[in-house]
Amino acid sequence: MKLFTTVELVRDLKAVTMAADRQPVAITHHRKPRYVLMTFEDFQNIRKADPRRVYGPGETPAELAEIILPELDKLIEEGKKGR
């Protein structure tokens, strides 16, 4: 991944965006990579690539809980038998 400083981004936006057209580029701030610039198409592809979602306590949709809870109960029982 090519790196650009924030100063380079401000001074030569065209060069940085042209590089981002080829592949995502990192924008550094105080010598540390802080941001990524990429095409919107690349961003959409990343968003589509992994449909997993994490739910907090009480956030799990009911239809998903109906699938997961019986399986968890089975695993708990198997664990108790294995002791």
Residue 81 has pLDDT above 90, yes or no: no
- Predicted local distance difference test score (pLDDT) of residue 12: 97
Mean pLDDT for the stretch of residues 57-69: 88
- Predicted local distance difference test score (pLDDT) of residue 13: 97
- Predicted local distance difference test score (pLDDT) of residue 54: 86
Round the CA-based radius of gyration of the chain to a whole number and report it.
22
pLDDT in tens, 7-61: 999 999 999 999 999 999 999 999 999 999 999 999 988 888 777 888 887 888 8
Q: What is the DSSP letter of 35?
A: E
Rounded distance between C-alpha atoms, residue 3 and residue 8, angstroms: 10
- Residue in this structure with the two tokens 């981004």, named with its chain if needed: 9
**What are the beta bridge partners of residue 5?**
28
Q: Give the full edge-to-edge strand order of the sheet including 2-5.
A: 2-5, 25-29, 32-37
Residue 83 has pLDDT above 70, yes or no: no
Residue 11 token pair: 């001074």
User: How close are the terminal C-alpha atoms of the chain, in Å?
Assistant: 50
Distance, CA of 75 to chain centre: 29
* pTM of model > 0.75: no
